[in-house]
Amino acid sequence: PTPESWRRIDSYLTHTLVEPDDALAAAVADQNAAGLPPIEVSPLSAKFLQLLVRISSAQRVLEIGTLGGYSAIAMARALPPEGRLVSIEAEPDNAEVARRNIERAGVDDRVEVRVGRAAEVLPHVDGPFDLVFIDADKESNTIYLEHAARLARVGGVVVVDNVVRSGRVADPATEDEQIAGVRRGLEKLARDPRFDATALQTLDAKGWDGLAIAIRVDPESR
């Protein structure tokens, strides 16, 4: 497939399956206007996360990496009224944009944005969570997965964004520290007896990438 063909299909699938959401569109517009990088998940991936919240009947969701709040809003929309989403963001300016977007979307009763480096915030976060979405600095993925193993309930879902990175994840010549972090994260998902995992490649408006999806398991009952 060429970028033109997969973008056309991404657009077709998005228009066919993802109902327009004014608050999500406004969140992207404001995020871009504020100069944040346009690296939020695609609309189809946001819908995928939203469906995972529903499929797992999640009431408590943890997100690592808020950016402008796009994926947080999408997931929070699928929570029951008493559900809660905690999202951690290292950049105070990003968190401000996210809080405005979350408020406009009307999910601020369910979403808490915590500002700080996730590696420093996570030790103060209490579980259990039904779903953990890891989408921050890739160098720290193993740290985040260690916290996810602690914080996710047995049977809970853990999703890691950006595990393919235009194929560089499997390019031995790549010395990029982010790619190395992605690899260490995937290796941890494979080796750590508290996880059972797979990964799916994605081709969408953001290019060639992928998601890892894991279930938190009880090592005693494997």
Q: Say how far apart CA 43 and CA 10 lie, in whole Å.
A: 9
CB nearer to Mg ion: pick between 45 and 60: 45
CB nearer to ligand DHB: pick between 63 and 135: 135
Edge to edge, what strands does the sheet with 111-115 contain?
111-115, 84-89, 60-64, 129-134, 152-161, 207-216, 195-204
CB of 222 to ligand DHB, least distance (A): 31
Is 66 a binder of Mg ion (CB under 5 A)? no
CB nearer to ligand DHB: pick between 94 and 162: 162
Footprint on residues 77-106 left by Mg ion (CB under 5 A): none
CB of 129 to ligand DHB, least distance (A): 19
CB of 142 to ligand DHB, least distance (A): 16
Is the Cα torsion angle 53, 121, 28, 206 positive or negative in sign? negative
CB of 45 to ligand DHB, least distance (A): 9
CA-wise closest residue to 31 among 103, 113, 98, 92: 98
CA-wise closest residue to 182 among 200, 197, 157, 160: 160
CA-wise closest residue to 214 among 201, 203, 222, 194: 194
Q: Which of 161, 163, 197, 210 binds Mg ion (CB under 5 A)?
A: 161
Binding site for Mg ion (CB under 5 A): 135, 161-162
